[in-house]
Structures are given as C-alpha cells and as structure tokens.
Amino acid sequence: MNKKAKIVLVLLSLLFAGTVMAQGYGGYPGEFLRYGIGGRALGMGRAFVAVSDDASGMYWNPAGIVGARFSEFSSTYTNLYYDSQFANVSIVLPRMFNLKDPLGKYLLGPNSSIGFTWVGLASSNYEQRSVTGVKIGDFSMGENAFLMSWAHETVGLWGVFRYGTTIKLVSQAFSGMQQESYRQIESHQRSWSGGIDFGMMFQPIHAPIFRLFSLQYLLPLKFGLNLQNIIQPGWRIRENDKDRFPLVLRMGLSYRFILRDWIPRAWTDMRNFFSNTEILFAFDKEYYENIPSGTYVGFEGVIPVKGEDFVFYPRAGFNNRSEGPSFGFGFTVPFTDKALIRIDYVYGSHPYLPEDNRFSISLKFGAQKSSRFFMDRSKEQRGRKYQ
C-alpha cells in the first residue's frame, strides 16, 4: 500500500473509528478525542495524567485543574491533511471564590476549580460513490466534544488528595451524504451522546512508606489516575443501536526535580545559578480495551531567563502509541501587568502520516492561585483594616 493510501485510511479511521488501525487493531468510536490537546502535554509525549495543571487538564485528568496556578485560556488549531482540521478551545478557572455557604464553598471555593473545553475534528470534500463506483455526490464529516470539568482538593495527614470529574457531550454529523440501503450510517443526521470521566491525584506528605525520604524531596512527587468513559457515550449506527466509546484507564506519576535542592549546600554559586531551574519527569501507563497497554514518558525543563516573567520550557517525550518521539518547547512572556502569554510548539512523528507540527497559545491571567491564596488575601485585608 502506498503512502498516500495509508494517509487516507488513517484520516478516515480518525473520523469513523480510530487511529489504532495504524497499529493493526480494530478501531473504536471516539478516537478523535485521543488526538490530544495542548502543546505542553503533547511535547511531553502525552505523559500528563499526573501533571494536568493547565487549561488542557480537563482532557488529560480533571483532578489536576485545581492545581492550576492561574486562570488560563488556551487554543490550538491544526490543519491536518486532505481538507481536515482539528481544533480546541479551553479555559480553566481555579479557586474562584471565598464563599461562606458550605455547599458553595465546596463547589466553587478556594479548594475547587472548574474548566470548559471544546474539541472538534472536521473533514470535507470526500466523494461518495455507489457500489458500482459511480459518483453520487460529495460529503463532509465532523465530530465535536464539549467538556465541563470540576475538581476539588483536600489536605489530610498523609498528603494532598485531588479528585475531579468531566461531563462530556459529543456529537457526530455527516453533511451531504446520500442515504443508501447497504450503509449503516444514518445519512446527514447528527448524533448526540453524553459521558463521564473521573480522575484522582495524590501528593504524599506523610505516610509510613515515604518516611524514608525527606519532605523536601517528597513534595514534588505526584500520582495520577484517570478513568475515561465510566459512563460511555456512543455513536448511533442504527435505530436504537449505539457503538459505545471504550473504557480507558490511565495512571501515572510525575516528579519535579528542583535542581537547587539536589546540589550540595557548599556549592553556593551553583545553587544560586540553578535556584529556579526545574526538570519535570512524567510516566504514564494506559489500558485500552483489547489493545496492549500504552507507555508514555515525558520531560519538561523550566528555565527562567529573566526573573519569572520570561521562562523557557524545552520538552521531549516518547510513547508506543504513535511509535515515535516528540519534541517541543514553550515560553512565557508578559502581556500586561496581570497577564502572561505562553506559546508552545510540538513536533511529533507518526508511522503513516507526515510529521505533525502544532502550535498552541495560552493566556494566563489573574492573581496567582494556590491553596493559601484566600488565606493570604484575608490576612492582608485585616491588616489594612487596622492600619
């Protein structure tokens, strides 16, 4: 099979079933949701379930969005091949309000976050032919997902526990397709369905097995788990018959090496030079119905160039799903006195498709948030009151 034919087959599998056909396995519905969003996560080889602390977090692990340091808006648009486009828009709003009502505080208080994401894949100018090879028209195809996520954080004796859920509404449509008796697709009608994901994240602070390590070296460790499609959406293929999205389990860990902490105290100059430099390591395992488990490894460097305003992020990753490495970088620059812009680029390889070059842009805005944000603000307000 020549390269062009392979490309067409993979693109059709993205819309009809799945890119897993590229590895010789039967495709599944909803594969457009596995294409990936966020230049940061993709640059790290998709090893992100125990990171997930930016606007793409609703996609990778909803529990992680409560760890976002800023409110963030992010967008990606990619021209694929043969009139196909993939795009997403995301916004995350961490720790929004300091509410007194118990229910309101639990849902939207200083230990909770919400986020919204739209993901879309569209392809046009496909020829429809009859069983005898006669052209009967042109058609286009599209799939969309609308994700709404919520996450909450609680701190206990053993550590920081985060959990979250994503409610998703998905749709599929064929425009211009002529109905034929032998087809199992319901022509131009739009199919809607809903589903739910659930995620967890744990950051150990104090537990018997971890007492061997200093707290200084323990805090950067995180564990993550995400169950996708615990309530399974599906595409309608016949009346009262749906092709369900598969159940996916992904788990992993991440560790943020703060270089200063690993340099001997006697080496003062070197410790000062690397005072704000970090290396983030992430490792994921994925279990997908009837397919060998996936392995994902990723790295991200954090290199301040000019204080905290300009930061450079080199990235690299590898996974056995796309059968190739990924490389990328990002940087943040000031936009206003209360906002930063982050631009991310990622290069990825694929066994059958041409190289994938993707850019994403993010706007970080508002005050920097952490679990102490509202406590510190309250202390500041009390101090002003009695001045």
Number of domains the chain contains: 1
More confident residue, 195 or 20: 195
Report the distance separating Cα 120 and Cα 87, nearest Å: 5
Report the distance separating Cα 110 and Cα 374, nearest Å: 7
- Tokens at residue 286, please? 């994925």
Question: Is residue 12 in a domain?
Answer: no
Per-residue confidence at 98, pLDDT binned at 50, 70, 90?
confident
How do strand 339-348 and strand 191-204 relate by DSSP bridges?
Answer: unpaired
Report the distance separating Cα 184 and Cα 180, nearest Å: 9
Chain centroid offset of residue 184 CA: 32
Report the distance separating Cα 303 and Cα 326, nearest Å: 20
Residue tagged 């950051």 (tokens):
203
What's the mean pLDDT in 244-250? 89
Domain holding 96, by residue range, is 35-385
Question: Is residue 279 in a domain?
Answer: yes
Considering 137-146, 150-159, 261-270, the range whose residues carry the highest mean pLDDT is 150-159
Question: Which conformational region is residue 133 in: left (phi greater than 0), alpha (psi within -120 to 50 degrees), or beta?
Answer: left
Per-residue confidence at 116, pLDDT binned at 50, 70, 90?
very high
| Nearest partner of 62 among 71, 72, 49, judged by Cα | 49
Amino acid identity, residue 104?
A: G
| Nearest partner of 80 among 127, 28, 12, 21, judged by Cα | 12
Q: DSSP 3-state assignment of 203? A: strand
What's the mean pLDDT in 234-238? 71
The per-residue DSSP string of 87-155 comes to EEEEEEEES-----SHHHHHHHSTTEEEEEEEEEEEEEEEEEE-TTS-EEEEEEEEEEEEEEEEEEEEE
Percent of the chain residues past pLDDT 70, beyond the cut? 72
Q: What is the pLDDT of residue 137?
A: 63
Rounded to two decimals, the pTM is: 0.80
How many other C-beta atoms can be found within 10 angstroms of the C-beta atom of residue 139? 19
Q: What is the pLDDT of residue 26?
A: 44
Per-residue confidence at 112, pLDDT binned at 50, 70, 90?
very high
Residue 237 has pLDDT above 70, yes or no: no
What's the mean pLDDT in 139-163? 88
Indicate the average pLDDT of the chain.
79
Question: Is residue 120 in a domain?
Answer: yes
Number of H helices and E strands in the chain, helices first, is 7, 16
What's the mean pLDDT in 115-135? 74
How many other C-beta atoms can be found within 10 angstroms of the C-beta atom of residue 372? 10
Q: DSSP 3-state assignment of 237? A: strand
Residue tagged 């589903």 (tokens):
195
Q: What is the pLDDT of residue 161?
A: 93
Task: Note whether 123 and 141 are within 8 A (CB).
Answer: yes
Report the distance separating Cα 19 and Cα 379, nearest Å: 53
Q: DSSP 3-state assignment of 156? A: coil
Question: Is residue 27 in a domain?
Answer: no
Instruction: Give per-residue pLDDT as tens, 327-337.
Output: 999 999 988 88
Q: What is the pLDDT of residue 264?
A: 82
Instruction: Give per-residue pLDDT as tens, 7-50.
Output: 444 444 444 443 333 343 445 777 778 888 999 999 999 999 99
Question: Is residue 267 in a domain?
Answer: yes
**Lowest-pLDDT choice from 168-177, 315-324, 370-379:** 370-379
Report the distance separating Cα 3 and Cα 354, nearest Å: 9
Residue 378 has pLDDT above 80, yes or no: no
Report the distance separating Cα 164 and Cα 153, nearest Å: 9
Residue 3 has pLDDT above 50, yes or no: no
Q: Is 51 exposed, middle or buried (0-12, 13-18, 19+ CB in 10 A)?
A: buried
Task: Give the chain's radius of gyration (CA, Å).
Answer: 23
Residue 132 has pLDDT above 70, yes or no: no
Supply the CATH number for residue 170's domain: 2.40.160.40
Question: Is residue 7 in a domain?
Answer: no
Question: Is residue 3 in a domain?
Answer: no
Question: Is residue 4 in a domain?
Answer: no
